[in-house]
A and B are shown apart, each in its own frame.
Chain A
């Protein structure tokens, strides 16, 4: 039987705002499948976002949803989760939202290790505002604000997350759709802060300026430019040149913030009872 996405979509909120060929919808379907696999309760799951095309995702889903300010989704999510730890909290957003304006919240969320999941849809561009370069736009690429090619070197989001202390870091692509939910299921199950970066595509503002003739061509590029961590094990450095590794990139168990804080509460209540 075909998967019933509608069960999780808010009645009356489609069609979505995304352009034909945009990868964000593929990611949303992956998230829905992950939620379904995990059997997350609608009333006890909060989905939070910042601002951008990617950040419109929560509104379509029938959960407790919060569309906040540009880059700040992670900080709002921190407040929600810390105040009510029994809620499952998932934060979503784009690359501009997450690692430009929201970069500070992102690295500190990684460091703090609160038990939530951050799904970042990296299309290498500011889609919503019409295609300005982002901190993940490759050098040399064209954006509306890099008309002569981008001189600004990009972040590797997964490395940034690992460096900042995230305890679960995975990367997938919008092309490898069936992997998205698998990564998200593992990420959400992980006790601690998990980051899932999905390499995504914006045919409208990135593809057109960078010689991609179609959305399909962009999707194929996601396939060709990536290699799974398993396959990479048997490849030479020359073969790996220019390839981006996907899959579960990092996982460790570290004390989780809210559990640690609960110990402080328990001790304080014991002493001052």
Chain B
């Protein structure tokens, strides 16, 4: 059977990806340039028996999404810069209580109201460090409409599997562009559901590490009753100040991610085998970079592209050897220098790392990157 094909906007693809993954609950608050995600969910969810609610603000939307997830549902919220900032406290709550949920943050210029309709890639650090305290972070940065669909599905899978919130962050260009998309049929993409307890209600504890670093989460209303709190907690979900328990639980929460980096980190390598100059880019900037690499190759310069798809955890394992191999790395990004610091950390002085930074609301065009490649090639 022929695949269903459509011309779709990135944000719309994101909503359809969520539905494909089994998301049946959305809570949000309107904000440009993410609103289309909410609009599609408002239209589509009732058809599937799902629930859409527009909350009074982003704090409430994040709270509602966590509450609904606790009843066993897959839940989504979508926002942009200012709203992403407001969600941070409750994102931390989802991290410490280990409740799965997915957050779409379509990146616009900032800080503050910034440039509501202008593209940006300046929330990547907030995606990791935005909420206070040590916590796990998974953040995906798709570069096309098709990929927004598939990465949103993957975000749900990772969230359910690792019992943690996952953020998907297209820049405004990717969120708003229209492209041809092939809808995956049911079964084409894996869909992961959270583990359910294998013990009865009498024995169940929400953080029972006898079942490993990611203990099963029961649902409210499913016959299991338990307590969750944002305070540091013990296996039974109740608060504790016991030093060794707090230390152990804190470490476990990070280990959930660190021990599974290979399962989480996705990237694309383009013409890197013999490359002397590597571009490290993501989102719409990676599309310009790919074009620039092709142009450079035509001009006889051995350039290649490393495209980040999983931004957090950062692809250290791939970038460190790459830096040891190439002469120079160029990091174009729509901010004033964020990813470059991570790349420099991975490069550890083994190659020259330069950046192209832009926050004027214009995309980084291939010509700009090509100029930098030429410069580095001298």
Residue A240 is within 8 A (CB to CB) of chain B in the complex: no
Interface on chain B toward A: helix, strand, loop, or mixed SS? Answer: mixed
Q: Using Cβ atoms and an 8 Å threshold, which residues of chain B touch A108?
A: 55-56, 60
Query: Could you tell me if B227 and A80 are in contact, using CB atoms closer than 8 angstroms?
Result: no
Residue of A44, A64, A86 with highest tally of chain B CB at under 10 A: A64
Residue A199 is within 8 A (CB to CB) of chain B in the complex: no
A264–B230 Cα distance when bound, in Å, is: 35
Q: Using Cβ atoms and an 8 Å threshold, which residues of chain A touch B306?
A: none
Query: Could you tell me if A75 and B63 are in contact, using CB atoms closer than 8 angstroms?
Result: yes
Residue A229 is within 8 A (CB to CB) of chain B in the complex: no
Q: Using Cβ atoms and an 8 Å threshold, which residues of chain B touch A105?
A: 56, 59-60, 63
Tally A-B pairs: CB < 8 A: 134
What mask results when residues 219 to 235 of chain B are scored 1 for a CB within 8 Å of chain A, else 0?
01101111111110000
Query: Could you tell me if A68 and B49 are in contact, using CB atoms closer than 8 angstroms?
Result: no
Q: Using Cβ atoms and an 8 Å threshold, which residues of chain B touch A67?
A: 227-231
Given A80-B71, A272-B47, the answer on whether A46 and B220 have CB atoms closer than 8 Å is yes
A264–B44 Cα distance when bound, in Å, is: 11
Of A42, A76, A83, the residue contacting B225 (CB under 8 A) is: A42
Residue A212 is within 8 A (CB to CB) of chain B in the complex: no
Additional pairs, 12, CB under 8 Å, beyond known A48-B67, A65-B228, A87-B221? A43-B221, A66-B67, A68-B63, A75-B59, A75-B67, A76-B64, A76-B66, A78-B64, A79-B25, A80-B70, A105-B56, A105-B60
CB-defined A-B contacts under 8 Å, sample of 17: A46-B220, A59-B239, A66-B67, A66-B70, A66-B228, A76-B63, A78-B64, A79-B27, A79-B65, A79-B75, A82-B51, A83-B25, A83-B71, A83-B73, A84-B73, A108-B60, A261-B51
Given A59-B229, A59-B238, the answer on whether A77 and B67 have CB atoms closer than 8 Å is yes
Number of interface residues of B (CB under 8 A): 42
A79–B25 Cα distance when bound, in Å, is: 9
A84–B231 Cα distance when bound, in Å, is: 25
What mask results when residues 96 to 119 of chain A are scored 1 for a CB within 8 Å of chain B, else 0?
000000001101100000000000
Interface on chain A toward B: helix, strand, loop, or mixed SS? Answer: helix
Number of interface residues of A (CB under 8 A): 42
Given A105-B60, A269-B49, the answer on whether A69 and B90 have CB atoms closer than 8 Å is yes
Q: Using Cβ atoms and an 8 Å threshold, which residues of chain B touch A75?
A: 55-56, 59-61, 63-64, 67
Chain A positions near chain B (C-beta within 8 angstroms):
10, 13, 42-44, 46, 48, 51, 58-59, 62-69, 72, 74-80, 82-84, 86-87, 104-105, 107-108, 261, 264-265, 267-269, 272
User: Chain A: which residue is nearest B56 at the CB level?
Assistant: A108
Query: Could you tell me if A79 and B66 are in contact, using CB atoms closer than 8 angstroms?
Result: yes
